[in-house]
Chains A and B, each alone.
Chain A
Amino acid sequence: MARMKFLCDADRCIECNACATACKNEHEVPWGINRRRVVTINDGKPGERSVSMACMHCTDAPCASVCPVSCFYTTADAVVLHSKDLCIGCGYCFYACPFGAPQYPKTGNFGSRGKMDKCTYCSGGPEEDHSQAELDKYGRNRLAEGKLPLCAEMCSTKALLAGDGDIIASIYKERVAKRGYGSGAWGWKVAYKETIAI
Chain B
Amino acid sequence: MTRKQDEPREGVDLARRNFLRAGIAGASAAAATTAATVAPAEAAESDAEKKKARYQETAHVKKYYATNRY
Contacts and interface: CB of A to CB of B under 8 A. Distances in A.
A15 interface: no
Contacts of B53: 1-2, 75-77
Interface string A103-132: 000000000000000000001011111010
B50 A75 contact: yes
Contacts, number: 66
A147 interface: yes
A4 B55 CA distance: 8
B50 A73 contact: yes
Contacts of B44: 126-128, 131, 133
Contacts of B13: none
Contacts of B52: 75-76
Interface of A: 1-2, 4, 73-77, 81, 85, 123, 125-129, 131, 133, 141, 143-144, 146-148, 152-153, 158, 161, 163-164, 167-168, 171, 174
Nearest to A160: B68
A163 B57 CA distance: 9
B54 to A, nearest CB: 4
Interface residues of B, number: 21
Interface string B35-70: 000000010110100111111111011001101111
Contacts of A147: 58, 60-61
Contacts of A74: 51
8 contacts: A4-B55, A73-B51, A75-B50, A123-B54, A143-B55, A146-B61, A147-B60, A163-B64
A153 B54 contact: no
Contact of A143 (B47, B54, B65, B69): B54
A120 B51 CA distance: 13
A193 to B, nearest CB: 31
